[in-house]
Amino acid sequence: MRIRPALAILSGAVLVAAMGYSIALSTAASFIEPLEEEAQAAIAKAGGRGVTARFATPAGAPSRHPLLTGGRRLPEDTRARVAQAVAAVPGVGGVFWSDGTIRASNARDRYEPLHCQEDVDGLLRSRSIRFEEGSNRMLPASQLLLDEVADSLRPCLGAIISITGHTDNSGTEPGNIALSMQRARAVREALVRRGIPRDGLRARGVGSAKPVAGLTPDDPANRRIEFAVIRTEPLTPTPVDTPGAR
């Protein structure tokens, strides 16, 4: 049986591509190993006890963009310092925490609060995003409040927006952490439906670990959502974004 020329060419191309992919993977793996060693040294120097850097995609392929795991109980400033220390390692790309709370591109980036933070804080000073008890379902009034929050965040698109869910200390802490994460994710999805890009939103839940200053841990007012709007890199217009001369 004769093989058609086109089929033979296609089979050869697939074989070459597969060989090239295998070679690329082996080369990438040898390149990643020293990055892992330097990253762990940087983590230790920055005080990131219990933190590890995984240089791989979710599918397991080698990547220059490490995912940091562990260190959940570390203070936020320590976590930021660890992310920056890893990002400063030559050859490392963007750095992410597994819970999405911090992103660092390189050691020169500055974490600078934007004016949107003040706008959102002003909205939430006298009102709060509330949920049905023991649920991640928002009350109708909170849906209206989220409309205003989305409007306040829209001028700062391109920033990283951290959404943190909190609970009071009723129930078990593992359950509180799970519920606070579910609520943070519910708010994230609500903002996405209102036109806020998903890739700039980071949701996390901390349970009852961080009550409001001056309140007892069992106070229902601790059930809340907090936002942090952080500039991580300048937003550079492209020719498509920039109108031409008229």
Domain boundary among the residues 82, 104, 126 is at: 104
- CATH number reported for the structural domain that contains residue 146 in this entry: 3.30.1330.60
Query: Where does a domain end: 72, 104, 136?
Result: 104
In a domain, 213, yes or no: yes
Q: pLDDT exceeding 70 applies to what percent of the chain?
A: 72
Residue 36 — pLDDT band, cuts 50, 70, 90? Answer: confident
Residues 129-141: tens digit of each pLDDT = 988 878 888 888 8
Q: Which two tokens stand for residue 92?
A: 């490392």
Helix residue ranges, H only, the chain: 5-45, 76-87, 115-124, 140-153, 173-193
Write down the mean pLDDT value for the chain: 75
Burial 168-201 (b: 16+ CB within 10 A, else e): bbeeeeeebbbbbbbbbbbbbebbeeeebeeebb
Q: Is residue 11 part of a domain?
A: no
Highest mean pLDDT among 13-17, 18-22, 156-160, 214-218: 214-218
Q: Are residues 161 and 224 in the same domain?
A: yes
**Cα 173 to Cα 179: distance, rounded to the nearest angstrom:** 10
| 143 and 223 share one domain | yes
- Looking at residues 122-150, what average pLDDT do you find? 87
Asked if residue 117 belongs to a domain, the reply is: yes
* pLDDT for position 89: 83
Structural domain span for residue 99: 31-104
pLDDT at residue 230 in the model: 75
What pLDDT does residue 106 have?
42
Number of domains in the chain: 2
> Residue 194: pLDDT above 60?
yes
Q: Please state, in angstroms and rounded to a whole number, the distance separating the CA atoms of residues 143 and 8.
A: 59
Indicate whether 81 and 131 sit together in one domain: no
Is residue 86 assigned to a domain? yes
Indicate if 130 and 100 belong to the same structural domain. Answer: no
The arithmetic mean of pLDDT across residues 107-119, rounded, is 57
pLDDT band at 177 (very low <50, low <70, confident <90, very high): very high
- Please state, as a whole number, how many other Cβ atoms lie within 10 Å of the Cβ of residue 70: 16
Q: Does residue 38 register a pLDDT over 60?
A: yes
Is residue 113's pLDDT more than 50?
no
Quote the CA–CA distance of 188 and 165 in Å, as a whole number. 11
In a domain? residue 97: yes
Between strands 160-166 and 201-205, the pairing is parallel
pTM of the model: 0.50
Residue 44, pLDDT score: 92
- Look up tokens 């409007």; give the residue: 151
Looking at the predicted structure, is the pLDDT value of residue 100 above 60? no
The domain boundary residue, chosen from 56, 74, 104: 104
* 3 vs 78, residue with greater confidence: 78
Asked whether the predicted pLDDT for residue 162 surpasses 60, the reply is yes
pLDDT the model gives residue 4: 57
Average pLDDT over residues 44-73: 81
In which band, very low, low, confident or very high, does the pLDDT at 24 lie, cut at 50, 70 and 90?
very low
Mean per-residue pLDDT, 147-163: 86
**One domain, residues 148 and 205:** yes
Give the long-range contacts of residues 3-12, CB within 8 A, separation 24 or more.
none
Q: Per residue in 201-242, pLDDT tens? A: 999 999 999 998 888 988 888 888 998 887 654 444 434 333
The CATH number assigned to the domain holding 36 equals 3.30.1340
Per-residue pLDDT tens over the stretch 63-94: 777 888 888 788 877 888 888 888 888 877 66
Q: Please check whether residues 87 and 136 belong to one and the same domain.
A: no
Q: Please check whether residues 91 and 121 belong to one and the same domain.
A: no
